[in-house]
Structure 1
């Protein structure tokens, strides 16, 4: 029998509206997973809408950017929605499934050659974008790593969480990556509650929070950390930072699937493992775990190797009080919202600056 009083699901005008909305899953009384098909639709939609509204770009124009994966698809979908052309300089980590989706959506794709050196991969991508801009000055460089316009879309996610979790003191736990998702979300949440906490997750080998002296040959850190400086990472927003190696992230992703039936990527698994530790330290807060994407692109490197995975229940970080003491496989520090301004080589800085639209 039909329940005529049931609330009907919305009928969306475009797939981006459906894809951007996460599923909220309470894994434990004080842990909530925010699970996305692809997180960066918020960033891409927010950025594209702002740039169109302010006249920085116009319909029919070509936008270009570098991506290791999920931002490329998010930007392609946003361009499809708003009538823009799209060119992606893709990381070597972009697989055939994603590349096929991009090409069918009409995206021009430049993919970097195979490389185990993430710094080289990222440097090649930046150099290629500059070559394109020199030949095609009509292109607009989206600069997902540097332009704060990518923070704006996460205000909508903050409003969703505040409606779903009214009155609960929140701690956001997520991979740092470009800084836009954790930074944009937390900045918006702190407008309602300045005591909202932010815990960032990093791999070893990332320059963002000072672990570049380490190498992790198995790590798939594209999208979690960085080999170059990102202006969109605002260090002063973070209360705690955790660094995990690949084996710990793999154990966490497999454990999340085994314990909660959630098939998600490495960054989601790592964030959940970190949240489990943080909940034990601060059980009165609700820990919101950012689940950036599904596990499909990690099937071969992670999930088919599930029998090799460590037991997450046996893993714990070493608490440190200085980056001098940082060491694998898992370390944590009270970052305490302090600013860190690393020296940035000129070739890694964005080619232009606009006024920061982030409040």
Structure 2
């Protein structure tokens, strides 16, 4: 008998199911149409179950793209209204989908300053809440309820991935996807490693003083602190610039026919490096979305892409040594203040035979 298809009651049930693709003997890509569906569905279900929100209420949040679409679909499913304060990076394709789903959208004016864009969005959300107190602010960057949906995903992965030591490699962004997934996995195996990927120019792991003028990886880093980022969950951190992320994104398409977003390419690049030191571990690469948002800025420029096989990071011991285009550091599950204020070199345990 062949594989049996399932009929879903709503599209969110279909698109939240990821595809697992083996890239190498010890690397598996978990690819989503939009990963944030797990966060949005888990959060909305919890709020409804605990009667913190009610049918017909308006949920509002700020987003640079894929969370906005996930929240709009969750609202569509549960009979809620949705209002998105959109980053300037939200493109016509996503905005059209939001509007058709019934979401109302306020979009920020064009800006090359990510910090200004985020500050404007937060300020507008606060204005909306003052005018419409019945709105519920989802606070994807700060509310821990966005961790909840990834518990289900962790259960699926434990049933599917091969037995043995596991390393999760993914962009940090809001912190919810990598943090929520690894917290749930560590309840069963505390040795699961987490490798976070950051762009230069992000405040989250201390690279804000090194801006990357070409960076369009809004879903990887941030210009403002996020409460949902728990630094002490991360074993290793890699900072990757746009050019290197682009090289690996194009290579992922060329070598594996996987059309994925720039954050997926960056995680793919990092996983290739990490497997050199931990060949005995399975490396799970998080592919948060498809490549459609990057068609012009990345895929149409594929002839310019570097060969990722020749790329390597500078391995550093403290944040003062951070340098583009690619740096990596053993974070060793420390708090940010431990690393920033006490930059003591720490050896990577998994590099010891």
Corresponding residue for residue 295 of structure 2: 299
After TM superposition, the structure 1 = structure 2 runs for residues 127-166 of structure 1, keeping only pairs within 5 Å, are 127-166=123-162
After TM superposition, the structure 1 = structure 2 runs for residues 1-359 of structure 1, keeping only pairs within 5 Å, are 5-341=1-337
**Which segments of structure 1 move beyond 2 Å, counting only runs of 4 or more?**
none
SS at match of 2:273: helix
Q: Distance in 1 between matches of 2:3 and 2:282?
A: 27
Q: Distance in 2 between matches of 1:178 and 1:6?
A: 40
SS at match of 2:336: coil
The answer for unaligned runs of 5 or more in structure 2 is 339-353
Q: Distance in 2 between matches of 1:166 and 1:37?
A: 23
Q: How far 1:169 moved relative to its partner?
A: 1.5
Q: How far 1:8 moved relative to its partner?
A: 1.1
Q: Distance in 1 between matches of 2:187 and 2:5?
A: 30
Q: How far 1:341 moved relative to its partner?
A: 4.7
Corresponding residue for residue 347 of structure 2: none
Q: Distance in 2 between matches of 1:181 and 1:207?
A: 18
SS at match of 1:288: strand
Q: Distance in 1 between matches of 2:38 and 2:274?
A: 26
Q: How far 1:7 moved relative to its partner?
A: 3.8
Q: Distance in 2 between matches of 1:184 and 1:215?
A: 28
Q: Distance in 1 between matches of 2:80 and 2:319?
A: 44
SS at match of 1:55: coil
The answer for unaligned runs of 5 or more in structure 1 is 343-359
Q: 1:67-102 CA distances to partner (integer Å, 9 max, x unpaired)?
A: 000000000000000000000000000001110000
Q: How far 1:6 moved relative to its partner?
A: 3.0
Q: 1:284-306 CA distances to partner (integer Å, 9 max, x unpaired)?
A: 00000000000011010001111
Corresponding residue for residue 342 of structure 2: none
SS at match of 1:319: strand
Root mean square deviation, CA, Å = 0.9
Q: Distance in 2 between matches of 1:191 and 1:215?
A: 37
